[in-house]
Amino acid sequence: MNDPQQKWTETIDANHSLFDLKLKEVWKYKDLVYMFIKRDFVSSFKQTILGPVWFFINPILTTIVYLIVFGRIAKLPTDGAPPLLFYLAGVTLWNYFSTSLLATSYTFSGNAGIFGKVYFPRLVTPLSIVLSNLMRFGVQFILFILGWAYYYFKGEAHPNIWILATPFLILLMALFALGVGMIFSSLTTKYKDLSMLLGFGISLYMYATPVIYPVSALRGIFRDVAYYNPLTGIFECFKFAWLGVGDFSPAMLGISSVIILVLLMIGIVAFNKVEKTFMDTV
C-alpha cells in the first residue's frame, strides 16, 4: 500500500513556461551532456583512417581552395592582411558556426527514437552539439594560432586589445547557432522540406558573411545590409583583433549581440512549444 506521506522526487510537467530553459535540471544531467559530447566526437571519426587529423585537414584544404579561387583568380581584397591567414580566420569561425547550426537543426528528427523512450531535458541535446563542436573549434583554433604566430613574427599580423573579446565572440556564435538551430529543429518536425533546404541555405549564407572578403569591399546597399548580418560584427571583430585589419566598429558587435539574443529567445519559445507535442508529428 502506498504511503500517503510519500512525495515524488521528480515531476515531469508539460505546463512550464515557454521561456523556461530549466537550466537547473540540465545541470543535474551534466553527465548525460558529457556522454553525448563523447558520442558525437567518437562517431564523427569512427572507421576513418586519419581520425581527428581531419580537424586539421579540412580547414587547411578549404583555405588553400579559397586562396586559389578567391585570392588568385577572383583577386578579392583582404584589407592588407596575408591572404592565407585571412581565409584561415574566416574558415575557422565559419566551420564552427555552420556545423553547429546544421547539427542542432536535427535535434528533434534525429533523436526521436531516444526522446520517445526516456525522459531528460531536451535542451541537453542541442547544448551537447554546440559544446562538442566547440571542441573541434578548439583544435582548429590551434591551427589558426600557429599560422598567426608565423605571420606575427614576420610583422604582418597586428593584434590589439580587442583580442580579449575572442571568448565573447565564440559565445555569440554558439548562441546564434543554438537559437537558429532550435528554430529550424522546431519547424522541421512539421515541415520536413526545410531540412533539405537548410544545407543549401547555409552555403548561400556564407557568401553573405565576410568569410572570404572584408566588409570594406562592399558598396552601397550591400554594405548597409551586411551590418545587420549577426555574423558580420563577429567576423570583423575577430579579424580586426588578431590581424589588425577590417572595417570594425563596436556598434557592429552591438547590433550582432542584440539580433542574436532576439533569435535565441525566439528559438527557446519555439523549442519549448514543440517539445510538448513533437512526438505526434515526427
Averaged pLDDT, groups of 10, the chain, 282 residues long = 53 53 71 78 63 78 93 91 95 94 81 68 82 88 95 94 96 94 84 79 92 90 89 96 91 94 91 67 50
Asked if residues 97 and 261 have their Cβ atoms less than 8 Å apart, the reply is no
What pLDDT score was predicted for residue 51?
61
> Measuring CA to CA, which residue among 100, 15, 62 is closest to residue 273?
15
What pLDDT score was predicted for residue 13?
54
Alpha-carbon gap, residue 172 to 216, rounded angstroms: 22
What pLDDT score was predicted for residue 192?
73
Dihedral angle of Cα 121, 260, 208, 156, to the nearest 10 degrees:
-100
What pLDDT score was predicted for residue 36?
78
Alpha-carbon gap, residue 44 to 54, rounded angstroms: 10
Alpha-carbon gap, residue 17 to 160, rounded angstroms: 43
- Per-position b or e across 63-95, b if 16+ CB within 10 A of its CB: beebbeebbeeeebebbebbbbbbbbbbbbbbb
- Phi-psi group of 245: left, alpha or beta (phi > 0 → left; psi -120 to 50 → alpha; rest → beta): beta
Encoded amino acid at 150, one letter: Y
Asked if residues 178 and 102 have their Cβ atoms less than 8 Å apart, the reply is no
Asked if residues 94 and 211 have their Cβ atoms less than 8 Å apart, the reply is yes
Dihedral angle of Cα 115, 203, 239, 261, to the nearest 10 degrees:
-40
Encoded amino acid at 90, one letter: G
What pLDDT score was predicted for residue 279?
47
